[in-house]
Structure 1
Amino acid sequence: MTDPRKEHDAEPITHFGYKNVAESEKAHKVAEVFHSVAAKYDLMNDLMSGGIHRLWKRFTIELSGVRHGNRVLDIAGGTGDLARQFSRIAGPTGEVVLADINASMLKVGRDKLLDKGVAGNISFVQADAEKLPFPDNHFDVVTIAFGLRNVTHKEDAIASMLRVLKPGGRLLVLEFSKPTNQLFSKAYDAYSFSLLPMMGKLITNDADSYRYLAESIRMHPDQETLKGMMADAGFERVTYHNMTGGIVALHRGIKP
């Protein structure tokens, strides 16, 4: 009789926050987190960041260089903050795809944009960042904001993004990162592991999901590591910009 522990041990292990889980379990666990928080996602973003997330996203849009007529893919697009602005800039001859692996987040984003009358050049696709269902050399710009840290195989996702970009196309990764000041880092840890779950409990009745979000941020590669991952995948002229003391970093790379 086969020992079930040996079968489990044979399966690759990855992290879900600070916990180790089988790779096959991670996507389901991440999905549960975002199913839980989807309805209050925008409200919690404003509360958690004091509204500063809007400035981070505005800088991402400015650095993207999106122009009239461009094709843009916004991965992990969630409630559509970036897609809405890209839709306006790309115009009626452009194309914006809001993609998210999570059906609940995709529905919230679609409903929000439709309610605001933004839909003419936007399509909504449920998609896995590691296996993007789009043609090679298709998009002028690809963005992923606060989504890469939840991906199991980040290298595969970055390679997939490179594949769907046109030569000369740009990838922008907006993600939580490592604070550059030690004292600031300690204060940020206290906020993340004490106040953040408390806010999650009060607003969404779900402290565990926000505890996971804090842990997932700490497990995400730091600025230089992510820069190296993008370069290893084949991106050129990879740079990053720290914002709010390194709490967030915006990485940018060009497809040769």
Structure 2
Amino acid sequence: MYMSAVATKIEDKVKEAPLTVPLKIDKSESWKLFDTIAERYDLLNYICSAGILSLWRQKLVDYFPKGSDLKVLDCATGTGEVMFSIMDDHHFDIQEIHGLDLSKNMMKKGLEASEDKSYAKKVCFHHASATQIPFNDNHFDCVSMAFGIRNVDDYQNCLKELYRVVKPQGRVLIMEFSLPKNNVIKSIYLFYFRHILPFIAGVLSKNKSAYRYLNKTVEAFPYGDAFVNHMKDAGFSTVWKSLTFGIASLYIGTKNE
């Protein structure tokens, strides 16, 4: 059940975002950064990842649970690309799917994109935080969160919220950037992330500082076994899959109750 007192639907009037965001930003206000780059966010991600981001999303979808009349939540949904990828493959199995995010501009783009989908009536966007999810306990069969948890102030609190809203034996799929173990690949990756990516993004989005911020959050994130331990502390049994030389990781958590 959706608790409307905690969040508002994106159909409400979307306020204009500020034009610039400082390089040093509190994670609790990182949504402001995404508001500034929403217009070209998906294009930037495609270009800067050489198209590999769509392959990673499909890998997440490959681990989506089987069933019927499923209820699904996508946290840090942004423009809804993960939701759409899930629905493209599983819309006959899904009763309802909800995406939540703090960036209204990002969700506005997603809402516009969803209107042309055959499954548009099943898709709903909510302006809310993954640390205060506006749904009752044990509501969802599956919860996903792609490239968003590193922008959360308190990973553990967020994971506890995901654990709370997923059903017993339900699945949580978290995808996030990580660092390659191979030192040569790691050096190339970090050079690209620190210097080339901000330049390309700066040219296309006029906001180089946004991608410098994102690079810093990636390098500071506790990936691999360290993040698996965070998930275990929240109550999940977790499997960790390394993707593309360790550039990204998929964490598959099950609520064992």
Same fold (TM over 0.5): yes
| 1:111 match | 112
Q: Which digits, 9 at most, give the CA deviation of each residue in 1:120-145, with x for residues without a partner?
A: 21111111111111000000000000
Give 1:26 deviation, angstroms: 3.1
Tell me if structure 2 keeps the 8 A contact 1:143–1:172: yes
Output the CA distance in 1 between the equivalents of 2:158 and 2:192.
30
1:152 aligns with 2:164: no
Question: How far is 1:82 from its partner?
Answer: 1.7
| Superposition deviation, residue 115 in structure 1 | 3.3
Where does residue 136 of structure 1 map in the other structure? 137
Question: Over residues 155-179 of structure 1, what are the superposed CA-to-partner deviations in whole Å (9 max), with x where a residue is unaligned?
Answer: 0000000000000000010000121
Q: Alignment partner of 1:129: what SS? A: coil
2:254 is aligned to: 254
Greater RCO (Cα-Cα under 8 Å, separation 6 or more): 2
CA shift, 1:87, in A, is: 2.8
Q: Give the 3-state SS of the residue equivalent to 2:212 in structure 1.
A: helix
Letter in 2 for 1:34: F
| Aligned pairs for 1:36-55 within 5 A | 36-55=36-55
Q: Find the counterpart in structure 2 of residue 234 from structure 1.
A: 235
CA RMSD of aligned residues (A): 1.7
Q: Which runs of 5+ in 1 are unaligned?
A: 1-16
- Structure ranking higher in helix proportion: 1
Seen in structure 2, the aligned counterparts of structure 1 residues 68 and 193 have a Cα distance that, compared at 3 Å, is same
| C-alpha separation in 2, matches of 1:82 and 1:100 | 13
Which has the greater radius of gyration? 1
Name the structure 1 match of 2:223.
222
Partner SS for 1:131: coil
Paired with 1:159 and 1:193, the residues of 2 have a C-alpha distance of: 32
SS at match of 2:120: coil
Deviates more, 1:90-99 or 1:30-39: 90-99
Alpha-carbon separation, structure 2, partners of 1:213 and 1:104: 18
Q: Could you tell me how far apart the structure 2 residues matched to 1:213 and 1:75 are?
A: 18
Alpha-carbon contact 2:67-2:93 (below 8 Å) kept: no
Aligned residues: 234
Partner of 1:4: none
Percent of matched pairs sharing the same residue: 33
